């Protein structure tokens, strides 16, 4: 089953998406997500200029061989641009394999290991009352796990504020917006937020929190300890992800579970975290970590060490990536939780998906393949719109991790 065409569709129905479309000689079409927020065109060019010419004429059924060919054949290893491009090819080939077999991808991965995929939503607020109100909205919709983020008093702009849109989109300006940061203000504030949420809603719902790479190891240890009474499901990315060793120190001081992985792009980037049991949840995304083929190797390694999955599912991953993640989640025994931020219209004009949400759980659906279709004509109505992620500065003006 030869590949006859591979093309890249860049569109911006509300936000930018890069989608790879792969077609076979039998007319089967597969899609893969190649969206790398704020750096979209780097991946689009990598695909268009360097990978698409290699795909035409290849056998679409040879997923692992294609993965190895693109990875080892590049010579230059890992990194988000390369691994996102390879992921898009991988996911598109799984989509094709499912369509050819007449089976949803999760069946090809071993079948459902659970009935549904536990997902968490995002509640945020400029202050605690606003956060509590939005949190109630998630409970009303059936969510069993909710991430809580709140603006920090004294900081002009903080990570994670959706402004009430329901979907947090950090890539805003045609030039980067500036966020602000001061660790001491943050460390004093977060335990108060957790206390207020537990007082209001009790302990029957999972609470998650994203630190977004901003602390030193000892600061992260202090945060973890201070949150222990409120029993978080996890704190995410407490320190910058480049240093896996940093987590040894955090681990010595706190039993608060830790989740890491959304900016990491390969199994080698999480190897120490997993094999030394320095984290509890590995949060790599199917779109940025080499696709279904590579992410399931990460999950298999994690299973040996009692580490669960907690896949990245921000709105900047397209519905194609979200579907791919759900198929893998459903079939993975050491699945933990899946992030679900959702997609705002007009994304629904460009992508049609068959995954569903019911009472806190998602299901990828039983359509053959991934169950997501791209409408290329609709995509053409929404041209690319350059947007940057914010840059973060401390109160003294120094650039800080965002
Ligand atoms: C998350 C992430 C996102 C990122 C975004 C960057 O946990 O969902 O931290 O909110 O900031 O994916 O593009
Ligand atoms: Mg995050």
- pLDDT tens, position by position, 190-222: 999 999 999 999 999 999 999 999 999 999 999
Residue 348: C-alpha distances to residues 12, 20, 99, 319, 344 (Å):
12, 17, 22, 9, 7
User: Is 391 contained in some domain?
Assistant: no
pLDDT in tens, 323-342: 999 999 999 999 999 999 99
Q: Is the CB of 313 under 6 A from ligand 1?
A: no
pLDDT given for residue 167 in this prediction: 82
Residue 227 pLDDT > 80: yes
pLDDT given for residue 113 in this prediction: 98
Binning pLDDT at 50, 70 and 90, where does residue 271 land? very high
Give yes or no: residues 34 and 162 share one domain: no
Region 69-96: mean pLDDT is 98
Of 162, 221, 230, 160, the closest CA to residue 196 belongs to: 230
Last residue within a domain, chosen from 104, 139, 168: 104
User: Is 143 contained in some domain?
Assistant: yes
Domain enclosing residue 206, as ranges? 108-366
* Catalytic residue list contains 189: no
Binning pLDDT at 50, 70 and 90, where does residue 163 land? confident
Of 87, 36, 2, the closest CA to residue 387 belongs to: 36
Q: Phi and psi for 335 in degrees, rounded to 5?
A: -65, 145
pLDDT given for residue 313 in this prediction: 97
- Residue bearing the CA closest to ligand 1, atom 9: 212
Give yes or no: residues 38 and 153 share one domain: no
Q: What are the residues whose beta carbon lies below 5 Å from ligand 2 (ion)?
A: 210, 262
pLDDT given for residue 386 in this prediction: 97
Of 325, 280, 299, the closest CA to residue 117 belongs to: 325
Last residue within a domain, chosen from 69, 104, 139: 104
Q: Is the CB of 210 under 6 A from ligand 1?
A: yes
Binning pLDDT at 50, 70 and 90, where does residue 172 land? confident
pLDDT given for residue 215 in this prediction: 98
User: Is 28 contained in some domain?
Assistant: yes
pLDDT given for residue 168 in this prediction: 86
- For a mutational test of ligand 1's pocket, the pick from 262, 284, 401, i.e. the residue with the most ligand atoms closer than 8 A to its C-beta, is 262
Residue 165 pLDDT > 80: no
Give yes or no: residues 60 and 122 share one domain: no
- Distance between CA 47 and CA 8 in Å, rounded? 7
Distance 377 CA to ligand 2 centre (A): 33
CATH of the domain at 190: 3.20.20.120
* Catalytic residue list contains 322: no
Residue 166 pLDDT > 90: no
Give yes or no: residues 121 and 207 share one domain: yes
Residue 289 pLDDT > 90: yes
Angle at which helices 217-227 and 246-253 pack, to 10 degrees?
A: 30
pLDDT in tens, 290-317: 999 999 999 999 999 999 999 999 999 9
Residue 164 pLDDT > 80: no
Q: Among residues 159, 186, 299, 355, which one is catalytic?
A: 159
Pairing of strands 391-394, 3-11: unpaired
Give yes or no: residues 113 and 60 share one domain: no
- Residue bearing the CA closest to ligand 1, atom 11: 170
Question: Rounded to two decimals, what is the model's pTM?
Answer: 0.98
């Amino acid at each position: 089953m030869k590949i006859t065409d591979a093309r890249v569709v860049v569109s911006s129905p509300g936000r930018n998406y890069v989608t790879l479309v792969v077609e076979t000689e039998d007319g089967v079409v597969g899609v893969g997500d190649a969206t790398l927020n704020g750096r979209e065109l780097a991946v689009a060019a990598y695909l268009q200029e360097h990978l698409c010419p290699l795909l035409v004429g290849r056998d679409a059924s040879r997923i692992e061989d294609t993965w190895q060919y693109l990875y080892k054949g590049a010579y230059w290893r890992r990194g988000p641009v390369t691994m996102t491009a390879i992921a898009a090819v991988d996911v598109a080939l799984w989509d094709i394999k499912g369509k050819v077999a007449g089976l949803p991808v999760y069946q090809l991965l071993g079948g459902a290991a659970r009935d549904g995929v536990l997902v968490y939503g995002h509640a945020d607020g400029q202050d605690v009352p606003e956060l509590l109100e939005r949190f109630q909205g998630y409970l009303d919709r059936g969510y069993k796990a909710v991430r809580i983020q709140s603006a920090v008093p004294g900081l002009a702009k903080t990570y994670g504020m959706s402004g009430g849109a329901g979907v947090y989109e950090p890539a805003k300006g045609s030039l980067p917006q500036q966020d602000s940061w001061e660790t001491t203000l943050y460390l004093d504030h977060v335990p108060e937020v957790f206390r207020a949420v537990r007082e209001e809603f009790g302990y029957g719902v999972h609470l998650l929190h994203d630190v977004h790479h901003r602390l030193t190891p000892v600061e992260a240890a202090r945060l973890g300890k201070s949150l222990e009474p409120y029993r978080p499901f996890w704190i995410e990315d407490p320190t910058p992800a480049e240093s896996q060793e940093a987590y040894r120190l955090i681990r010595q001081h706190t039993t608060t579970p830790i989740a890491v992985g959304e900016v990491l792009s390969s199994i080698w980037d999480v190897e120490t975290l997993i094999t030394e049991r320095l984290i509890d949840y590995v949060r790599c995304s199917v779109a940025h970590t080499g696709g279904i083929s590579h992410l399931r190797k990460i999950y298999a390694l994690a299973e040996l060490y009692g580490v669960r999955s907690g896949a990245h599912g921000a709105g900047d991953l397209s519905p194609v990536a979200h579907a791919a993640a759900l198929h893998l989640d459903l079939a993975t025994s050491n699945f933990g939780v899946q992030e679900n931020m959702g997609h705002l219209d007009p994304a629904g004009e460009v992508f049609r998906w068959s995954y569903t949400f019911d009472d806190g759980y998602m299901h990828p659906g039983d359509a053959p393949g991934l169950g997501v279709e791209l409408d290329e004509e609709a995509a053409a109505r929404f041209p690319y719109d350059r947007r940057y992620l914010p840059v973060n500065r401390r109160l003294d003006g120094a650039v800080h991790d965002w």
